Amino acid sequence: MGQLMKYKVICIRLIIIVLVIYNISINAQDMFNARRITFDPAQEAFATWSPDGKSIIYQYTNLNDTTGKNGLWKISQDGTGGKQLFTGIAEHPKWSPDGRYIVFDADTGKSIKMIPAEGGAPIIFLPDSIRIENGGLPCWSPDASQIAFLEGSTLSLYIYNVKSGNNISIFSEEGMLPLPGCWSDDGKSVLIALMDMQSRKSTIWKISSDGKERKQIIGHHENFYRHLALSPDGSLLVYAVAEGRYLGLYIMSTEGGISLPLAVTPQNYNGDPSWSPDGKKIAFTSTRSENFDIWIMDMNIEQIKKKLRVLNE
């Protein structure tokens, strides 16, 4: 009996050790602590922060929805106080830096619309001559005066001027798909994922808002996907890398170079990064809980910069 009890104790200890090692390996490539703030079985993704950093808006998508929950939802950064702002299929929302509007892909990717930040009737602002197909990935300039987006018929990077209502094409290249990610912190350029439509491989480019200058940001992974997010101080760039069928988030200097894993959990999707306005947090989408949920990771920009300097010396 004593031997049996001793054997059971050893087995339990081994199980505990295995579980600890498993948990460490799963979280080993989360650079900082991350916490889950949404818990619905539906897909909750593409978080965007309010300019004051107190709230988050995200898309809620359930193809079998019968209760009208699909759309855009607003919550506090701790996940409480859920409020639906828009009902219907809405994707890739972006909160304007002046706090007034939310722009998003609507009509299952066939149009771009915006709504007031507190909710209300959708505003159609693009003319019929501009076509959106499979989503335009709209994103605001830092002063909220312009919106960059992908035009569907020409596969061109366009800029919409909020004040004048003018639309101009600033970049296109045959056989390439320019996917807008974010603007530079000075508002003079748009950062894009330029995808080769044949090989499906992408590179990162910085395109001036007048289309006259372009610069490749070199040093990222060969399997770079998209989901670009620039830190508020303009020094760091987060991007997603395809890990087989899954995605992991990495971070590097805005100028390029060697990167560090930020949120990379095996066999999971980690994407859609969004910096809080103070640069102290990143909201992202992850399937590590077996659903598409919003997670928040605490960030230490100075610590990251120090590690990157050492790696890139």
What local confidence, expressed as pLDDT, does residue 22 receive?
38
Instruction: Round to whole Å and give the CA distance between 206 and 173.
Output: 14
What local confidence, expressed as pLDDT, does residue 43 receive?
97
Q: Does this model's pTM top 0.85?
A: yes
Instruction: Round to whole Å and give the CA distance between 95 and 274.
Output: 11
DSSP-derived pairing of the beta strands 202-208 and 260-263: unpaired
What local confidence, expressed as pLDDT, does residue 20 receive?
35
Per-residue pLDDT of the chain (313 residues; tens, 9 = 90+): 455 454 444 444 433 333 333 343 344 489 999 999 999 999 999 999 999 999 999 999 999 999 999 999 999 999 999 999 999 999 999 999 999 999 999 999 999 999 999 999 999 999 999 999 999 999 999 999 999 999 999 999 999 999 999 999 999 999 999 999 999 999 999 999 999 999 989 999 999 999 999 999 998 777 888 899 999 999 999 999 998 889 999 999 999 999 999 999 989 999 999 999 999 999 999 999 999 999 999 999 999 999 999 999 8
Distances from the Cα of 166 to the Cα of 116, 125, 267, angstroms: 21, 10, 44
